[in-house]
Structure 1
């Protein structure tokens, strides 16, 4: 097993090839693109801001980097990139794109809710669906879906997490469940799937929301990437960069399976009493 300090330079699980990274304009996506370019990958980098994508091209003049401008908040944008995922021989797909519609449920406009669901639910699902058949045919491929620790926050009371937002949280939970189920379906074909769940990260996301988190300890995007690549080596399907004890996550997933296995075709006893009028 490689020393974790060396993961930036090499890694058995992540071998150079062709990678497609969404949300590569900034933050975690940009950090992934820079790390992979340094490791010798050819890259297709997807984002909304061409100038940011061109900066990546200029930063790595010896690398083969193709910038693609697309809005994954629209059907047309998703279809465009899904076509690329289906036609190219991808070794690695990183579904990282995000959108800063972190708003209370009743204040979130319908168009922004739709955009958020497209970017964080529809896009990663359909891009993975487009890339997977080719990876299966080649017997090799890795799909990393970027989620977040808020995926596990659903049961928390409003007193504990007053600033948690329902729709955004739900999209992250979708990514975790999707990644776990995808991994089990695809691993017999030689594929790996990871849900990457960072906590608060020092990116532009919070600034776009008008949130000042300068006083809050935040992980760097580079550290998130390091954890993801190391997590692949460790065989983690769910990678939580800031969680010291992986047994905490194991306990969550074991409890989920116990609840799933605890069902029966008969009505549970607590529901058999007459309903009060």
Structure 2
């Protein structure tokens, strides 16, 4: 019996590369995207694979609920939460509808799709949840010279990292794994769609990014960063997180007391 993977944002870039990899590995697929023409083209381009297409806008409650039904009702082996929107702009300049779209796609949709899928995976004792975040998740402490500013976008990716780490701990011993991959700059339509020319910037291929994520899973990593050569850098970040978490006290810290 073939394994089954559901991939959101599967019609281009990283999502398409994930779908292509799973198709090559013999998975049946449920591919999710906004554009029916691209979904149909993907399906027709893979005649040897069982491909079901779902046209859904994950910035809307209706779109999220429709995909969640597949996550709850199908015996998924893999769920890839890849769908994304860019909206790189400072908070004060970010229109409310774009802020809502960004949070729905990168926070609410992954949360509800994983919630819908994880129960069945636990019952079957197997399954993999993959979230696509980005290295911008670690950019919060950067000083004001680092541009472009993108507070909401960075916050959504940081949420995915922290949520996946906490979820991985919740799922320990169940046979279900949670993983988040953090790309740097990847050669996709993501930046050109917002009018940014990245042609002079070194970029990783989407295929290499997928290779890194899947190899990270094999290595037992919860957070993979395919463009970071030294894994100790990430471990230092996580060790500092835990040190700060463990260093708290019910007593007011000295520096906050009146002089």
Pair in the same fold by TM > 0.5: yes
> What root-mean-square deviation, in Å, do the aligned CA atoms of Structure 1 and Structure 2 show?
1.1
Asked whether the equivalents of residues 128 and 143 of structure 1 are also in contact (C-alpha less than 8 Å), the reply is yes
Asked whether the equivalents of residues 28 and 203 of structure 1 are also in contact (C-alpha less than 8 Å), the reply is yes
Unaligned runs of 5+ in 1: 1-14
Partner of 1:7: none
How far off its partner does 1:196 sit? Answer: 0.5
Unaligned runs of 5+ in 2: none
Asked whether the equivalents of residues 16 and 39 of structure 1 are also in contact (C-alpha less than 8 Å), the reply is no
1:112 to 95, 98, 101: 98
How far off its partner does 1:248 sit? Answer: 0.3
How far off its partner does 1:104 sit? Answer: 1.8
Deviations 1:141-170, CA, capped at 9 Å, x for gaps: 0000000000000000011x1213100000
Distance in 1 (CA, whole Å) between partners of 2:121 and 2:134 is: 25
Secondary structure of the residue that 1:188 maps to in structure 2? coil
1:58-77 equivalent positions in 2, closer than 5 A: 58-77=44-63
Secondary structure of the residue that 1:231 maps to in structure 2? helix
1:149-160 equivalent positions in 2, closer than 5 A: 149-159=135-145
2:42 to 56, 61, 83: 56
Runs ≥4 in structure 1, deviation > 3 angstroms? none
Distance in 2 (CA, whole Å) between partners of 1:200 and 1:76 is: 31
Are residues 1:200 and 2:190 paired? no
1:261-276 equivalent positions in 2, closer than 5 A: 261-273=246-258
Distance in 1 (CA, whole Å) between partners of 2:185 and 2:66 is: 31
Partner of 1:131: 117
Secondary structure of the residue that 1:45 maps to in structure 2? strand
Partner of 2:160: 175
Distance in 1 (CA, whole Å) between partners of 2:220 and 2:93 is: 40
Distance in 1 (CA, whole Å) between partners of 2:195 and 2:229 is: 30
Distance in 2 (CA, whole Å) between partners of 1:164 and 1:239 is: 24
Asked whether the equivalents of residues 34 and 56 of structure 1 are also in contact (C-alpha less than 8 Å), the reply is no
Deviations 1:152-191, CA, capped at 9 Å, x for gaps: 00000011x1213100000000000010011110121111
Distance in 2 (CA, whole Å) between partners of 1:118 and 1:63 is: 31
Partner of 2:151: 166
Query: When the two structures are aligned, how many residues end up with a matched partner?
Result: 259
How far off its partner does 1:192 sit? Answer: 0.8
Partner of 1:93: 79
1:223 to 208, 216, 225: 208
Distance in 2 (CA, whole Å) between partners of 1:200 and 1:88 is: 33
Partner of 1:26: 12
